[in-house]
Structure 1
Amino acid sequence: MLTANIDGNRSRPLPGAIGTCPFCHSEMIPRCGEVRVHHWAHKSIANCDPWREPETDWHREWKNEFPLRWQEKILNDKKTGERHIADVHTLSGLTVEVQHSRLDPKERRARESFYQDMIWIVDASRLAGNRKKILNWRQFMARIIQGRTKTNLYLSKEAQNIFPDDWLSSPVPVCFDYMGPKSDPALDGLPLFLLYPGSIGDKRLVEPLPRDGLLRSILSEQVSMNSVRDIMHNVSRLRIR
């Protein structure tokens, strides 16, 4: 984790300090070396969030793109008492979950049901096969052109030939990062790919984005499930070629 409580206040890791986990209140130890992103480590995670996973530097760097007050927010379901730590939770209520390792489909669906208004950022560089498939992405997508105006949206009938299969059925937006910790020099300059949920006819809607473009949209709180649905509705009504 990137934060722990010291004397009741959230704190970044400090050499020699002792913190407590804001979720399970167990002792945490700072890891402030010269190689990895500074973070806190649990002495014991037995009673912490069951959705908690070991984090890579890629994961921590994505979380650090957002304000401290948005990071590692504890969210509660008032009806059931269930609670979990969201990687990022904005003031407008959007949850951003960052995922490096493979995620069991049942847990993915459970997280989507719990957070609801959310977006995934997925490390698509984890498997070499994923990286090879995306190199030819333009062959599998058609750019939407309205009138004479080129949009930044694409439609694809063959999303299964580009993106990791286990994320295609997600009911929320999934942003694939191919420049993750296992990036390949051949992928230099490759954008992020935002895969919209559901379909338009028999096609999937995709938006290539620069990293700072995605960040600007989230930081300005323009991203939500409502905005995603509006975009898909508007695209479905376009007379496009």
Structure 2
Amino acid sequence: MFCKVTIISSMRFALLDNQRIEATPRAVGSCPSCKADMVARCGTKKNWHWAHRGRRHCDHWWENETEWHRTWKNQFSSDWQEVSARDETGELHIADIKTPNGLTIEFQHSAIKLGEVVKRTNFYGQVIWIIDATRRPTDAIQYERMLEDNYPERFDGVDIYTVYYEETRLLKEWGALGVIVGFDYGGDNLCLLTAAQGYSRYLFDFPKAEFVRRVIEGKPLPVVQFAKPVQRRYRRRRL
């Protein structure tokens, strides 16, 4: 269902006669956000996509898409994809997914500075970050070693790990954010990270299909609501 292919693309949609359209050969359109002219890129090596004509992308937060991005976004309605809004300064930002309930989902493949993550999180408010955890091979190794060093607590039918928030490189990068973060290691489950107490964090596997279903139906993730803190000592691992 979710494959890992590093094919780079840009925006999926442009506007033609106020209708969102996808790129096709010789199509014309404008950017739904900044209204600039868009060029349809329809080659054989990359996903068909739209690119701004003669200028950088109108949202400096925007990350060029991989097939990983596109596959995730296609799990949701096209009306929820690439939704733009302006901050208090008038600067434009485009959410990967924005639901009618106000939830934003951001899919992040490339490296990103913590300061920018915090700015985006503060701007969107209700946001879930999904991280491509296959980009660095060592992240999966560190993840497996961390689970070997911890014992899960069974709660509501789910194995919940309470881990130190800097125990791996990914946790150091994302563990202090204070919102739900999903690490995608390429399987059928997301590894969901939620805040616990102090330096502790909850970590548990959650099916991707169920995650998508709950977002579409506007339902919360039940394990996050009912999990309880577990007191445990943690060994800091050298990364």
Question: Normalised by the shorter chain, which TM-score bucket?
Answer: 0.7 to 0.9
SS at match of 2:141: helix
Mapped pair 1:105 → 2:114: yes
Mapped pair 1:14 → 2:21: no
SS at match of 1:142: coil
* Structure 2 residue aligned with 1:54: 64
* Structure 2 residue aligned with 1:160: 166
Q: Which runs of 5+ in 1 are unaligned?
A: 180-188
CA shift in 2, pair 1:21/1:132, >3 Å: same
Deviations 1:165-217 (A, max 9, x none): 211111211101111xxxxxxxxx46310101x32365311120222121112
Amino acid across the alignment from 1:231: V
CA contact (8 A) 2:103 2:127 kept: yes
Q: What is the 5 A alignment of 1:80-229?
A: 80-146=89-155, 151-162=157-168, 164=170, 165-179=172-186, 189=187, 191-196=189-194, 198-200=195-197, 202-223=199-220
Q: Which runs of 5+ in 2 are unaligned?
A: 1-10, 231-239
CA contact (8 A) 1:119 1:172 kept: yes
The farther-off stretch of 2-11 and 200-209 is 200-209
Amino acid across the alignment from 2:68: W
CA RMSD of aligned residues (A): 2.6
Amino acid across the alignment from 2:224: I
Amino acid across the alignment from 1:50: H
Deviations 1:4-61 (A, max 9, x none): 1112211111221011111122221223344433321222344611212222121122
**CA–CA distance in 1 between the matches of 2:206 and 2:44?**
31
Q: CA deviation at 1:136?
A: 3.7
**CA–CA distance in 1 between the matches of 2:205 and 2:198?**
20
SS at match of 1:97: strand
* Structure 1 residue aligned with 2:52: 42
CA shift in 2, pair 1:162/1:191, >3 Å: farther
Q: Percent identity?
A: 34
